């Protein structure tokens, strides 16, 4: 194991390559002979859904957690491992965990369909599928547990990751409130238009003034007001810590870092600001993209970015995540061994702009879909309002929805048309889609699992129907989803 580096995982292939006998009755070496490296896993991985206490702004906060076999949040797999997991529910409440962006059979997806009900407190459920490599995450799909941090990283190393000499750094973002999520939601749904009685749909709100308070409003130059943060959070967390007491990652001078940023917030979008550094984006939502270099990167809710960073020297380099529309920020610090780390200002000098499609427009998949015209195109209209607070797809509110029907073997396109003044990060379960148009302009974009549809904008995605089942398709803003912004993509052969 390299000090200050990614633990060297030994795979079955490494054992074979090193000439260690794998045959016979010895399935793997005892850990004492393998040094500090973990054994190649032939047994199940134990993942425990439970509760834990964090310190936030100097106060204790009781939250959920998903703790892996090494006592740390989440699961990290080497390239040859299966996702062979026993999920043990010790959370004291029923739960169900979704493996966000992974492509398992639908009954292992972690969504509370009638056929796959939540796991009762005290029970265990087993999972076994072949994972895809990249930066993923896991979160509860039960009630509003996600807001109470029932979330964790899910990282699957590629064979190249296993060989590369670079530091692997996960940066997981959260929004945090000391108020229970049900109370936050009630504050929105019971709001009697004190902020604005105007619907967020369509036209007619050009003079909308959102005023002071928890919501941000931005004039987009066209006279159209755009709404940002619905919830007034108490803190923004990076790897469970605020920027007043950030995680400090000690790095090798001049070393290379693979930064895996995960936006696990329930209702907050960020700009990732590399400060003095320039990064190279190499993957979006776990799927490789052609390299794009930049220092400020928009990250919608539930999205991930993998960024390669060459550290220029032996200094200290903060990585900021600034909330869109606000000065508030969180982050971590990359610091060479021995380099001093001074206290960082909790707020940026200026409000951040709204997260937008400026990066999406520049992304192109390394492995795009094969050229093919869609066999079926579904058009989905987004609408919603602050008073009453509710968000819909094609005028329908979950669970009273009409499924989008597709069939195995089809090339499917979904055209999403946003007729509201909020941006919606849309996530499709069970498939990786390619972004093929932004605001009507064709694009051979990224392959990913979550895409932002901007206010009054449109985005078209396409995918091959190769994973039969019932699949959720929803806005990943938790408060939008909870008030209706979810539907089903269903294969016609199911049910």
Q: Is the CB of 102 or the CB of 392 nearer to Cu ion?
A: 392
Comparing CA positions, the residue from 418, 180, 148, 413 lying closest to residue 300 is: 418
In the numeric block, which tokens belong to residue 126?
A: 């087993």
Report how far residue 220's alpha carbon sits from residue 203's, in angstroms, rounded to the nearest whole number.
14
Site string for Cu ion, 446-475 (x = CB under 5 A): -----------------------------x
CB neighbour burial string for 258-286, b if at least 16 within 10 angstroms, e if fewer = bbbbbbbbbbbbbbbbbbebebebbbbbb
Name the helix (H) or strand (E) containing 182.
helix 181-189
d(CA 86, CA 128): 9
Q: Does 427 bind Cu ion (CB under 5 A)?
A: no
- Tell me the closest approach of the beta carbon of residue 17 to Cu ion, in angstroms: 48
In the complex with Cu ion, the residue whose CB is nearer, 65 or 455, is: 455
E strands in 180-312? 217-219, 225-227, 235-238, 248-251, 256-263, 270-273, 279-284, 287-294, 296-299, 304-310
Stretch that binds Cu ion, among 103-111, 184-192, 359-367, 422-430 (CB under 5 A): 422-430
**Between 95 and 477, whose beta carbon lies closer to Cu ion?**
477
How far apart CA 373 and CA 413 sit, in angstroms, is 9
Quick check: 477 binds Cu ion (CB under 5 A)? yes
User: Is the CB of 6 or the CB of 429 nearer to Cu ion?
Assistant: 429
Query: In angstroms, what is the minimal distance from the CB of 484 to Cu ion?
Result: 10
Residue that has been written with the tokens 């969180």 in this structure? 330
Q: Which is nearer to Cu ion, 54 or 489 (CB)?
A: 489
Q: How far is the CB of 414 from Cu ion (least distance, A)?
A: 15
- In whole angstroms, what is the distance from residue 97 CA to residue 110 CA? 5
> How far apart are CB 487 and Cu ion at their closest, in Å?
13
Q: Please identify, using beta-carbon distances, which residue of 104 and 199 lies nearer to Cu ion.
A: 199
Residue number, 365 or 404, with CB nearest to Cu ion: 404
d(CA 486, CA 112): 13
Rounded to whole angstroms, how far apart are CA atoms 382 and 493? 27
Residue 480 in contact with Cu ion, rule: CB under 5 A: yes
- Are 491 and 407 in contact by the 8 Å Cβ rule? The answer is yes
The nearer residue to Cu ion, 303 or 477, going by C-beta atoms, is 477
Q: Take residue 174 and report the two structure tokens written for it.
A: 């959260």
Collapsed DSSP state (helix, strand, coil) of residue 81: coil
CA of residue 121 relative to chain centroid, distance: 26
Shortest distance, position 404 Cβ to Cu ion, whole Å = 17
Give whichever of 205 and 239 is closer to Cu ion, judged by the CB atom: 205
In whole angstroms, the minimum distance from the beta carbon of 426 to Cu ion comes to: 8
Q: Is the CB of 167 or the CB of 448 nearer to Cu ion? A: 448
3-state secondary structure of 41: coil
Binding pattern to Cu ion, positions 382-421, x when CB under 5 A?
----------------------------------------
Q: Is 36 exposed, middle or buried (0-12, 13-18, 19+ CB in 10 A)?
A: exposed
* Smallest distance from Cu ion to CB 429, Å: 16
**Shortest CB 220 distance to Cu ion, Å:** 17
Distance CA 147, CA 170 (A): 20
Token code pair at residue 68: 């892996």
- As measured in angstroms, the least distance from the Cβ of 263 to Cu ion is 14
For residues 197 and 451, give the distance between their C-alpha atoms in angstroms, rounded to a whole number: 29
Site membership for Cu ion, residue 147 (CB under 5 A): no
Asked whether position 226 contacts Cu ion by CB under 5 A, the answer is no
C-beta of 129: minimal distance to Cu ion in Å? 29
Candidates 354, 155, 197; CA nearest to 271 is 354
Q: Does 102 bind Cu ion (CB under 5 A)?
A: no
Q: How many residues bind Cu ion (CB under 5 A)?
A: 4
Strand partners, 84: 128
Nearer to Cu ion (CB atom), residue 365 or residue 475: 475
Report if residue 424 touches Cu ion, rule: CB under 5 A: yes
- Least separation in angstroms between CB 10 and Cu ion: 43
Positions touching Cu ion (CB under 5 A) are 424, 475, 477, 480
């Amino acid at each position: 194991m390299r000090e200050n580096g990614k633990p060297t995982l030994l795979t079955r292939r490494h054992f074979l390559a090193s000439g260690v006998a794998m045959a016979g009755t010895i399935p793997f070496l005892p850990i004492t002979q393998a040094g500090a490296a973990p054994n190649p896993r032939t047994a199940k991985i134990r993942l425990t859904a439970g509760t834990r206490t964090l310190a936030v702004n100097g106060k204790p906060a009781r939250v959920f957690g998903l703790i892996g076999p090494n006592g740390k949040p989440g699961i990290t797999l080497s390239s040859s491992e299966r996702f062979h997991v026993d999920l043990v529910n010790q959370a004291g409440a029923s739960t169900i965990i979704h493996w966000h962006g992974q492509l398992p059979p639908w009954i292992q997806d972690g969504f509370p369909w009638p056929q796959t009900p939540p796991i009762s407190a005290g029970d265990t459920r087993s999972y076994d599928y072949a994972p895809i490599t990249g930066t993923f995450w896991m979160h509860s799909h039960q009630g509003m547990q996600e807001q109470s941090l029932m979330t964790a990283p899910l990282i699957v190393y590629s064979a190249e990751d296993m060989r590369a000499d670079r530091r692997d750094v996960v940066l997981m973002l959260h929004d945090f409130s000391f108020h229970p999520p049900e109370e936050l939601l009630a504050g929105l749904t019971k709001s009697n238009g004190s902020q604005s009685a105007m619907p967020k749909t369509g036209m007619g709100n050009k003079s909308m003034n959102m005023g002071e308070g928890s919501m941000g409003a931005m004039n987009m130059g066209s006279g159209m007001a755009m709404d940002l943060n619905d919830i007034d959070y108490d803190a923004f967390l990076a790897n469970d810590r605020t920027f007043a007491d950030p995680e400090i990652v000690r790095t090798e001078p001049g070393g290379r870092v693979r930064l895996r940023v995960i936006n696990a917030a329930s209702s907050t979008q960020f700009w990732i600001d590399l400060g003095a550094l320039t990064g190279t984006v190499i993957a979006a939502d776990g799927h490789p993209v052609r390299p794009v270099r930049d220092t400020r990167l928009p990250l919608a809710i539930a999205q991930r970015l993998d960024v390669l960073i060459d550290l220029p020297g032996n200094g200290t380099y903060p990585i900021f995540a600034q909330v869109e529309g606000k000065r508030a920020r969180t982050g971590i610090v990359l610091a060479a061994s021995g380099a001093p780390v001074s206290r960082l200002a909790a707020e940026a000098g200026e409000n951040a702009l709204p997260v937008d499609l400026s990066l999406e427009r520049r992304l192109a998949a390394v492995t795009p879909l094969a050229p093919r015209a869609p066999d079926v195109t579904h058009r989905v209209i987004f609408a919603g309002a602050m008073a009453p607070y509710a968000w819909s797809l094609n005028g329908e509110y979950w669970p009273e929805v009409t499924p989008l029907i597709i069939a195995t073997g089809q090339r499917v396109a979904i055209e999403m048309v946003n007729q509201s003044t909020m941006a919606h990060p849309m996530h499709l379960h069970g498939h990786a889609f390619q972004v093929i148009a932004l605001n009507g302009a064709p694009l051979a974009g990224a392959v990913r699992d979550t895409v932002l549809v901007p206010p009054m904008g449109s985005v078209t995605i396409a995918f091959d129907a190769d994973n039969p089942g019932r699949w959720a398709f929803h806005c990943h803003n938790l408060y939008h989803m909870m008030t209706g912004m979810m539907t089903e993509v269903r294969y016609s052969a199911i049910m």
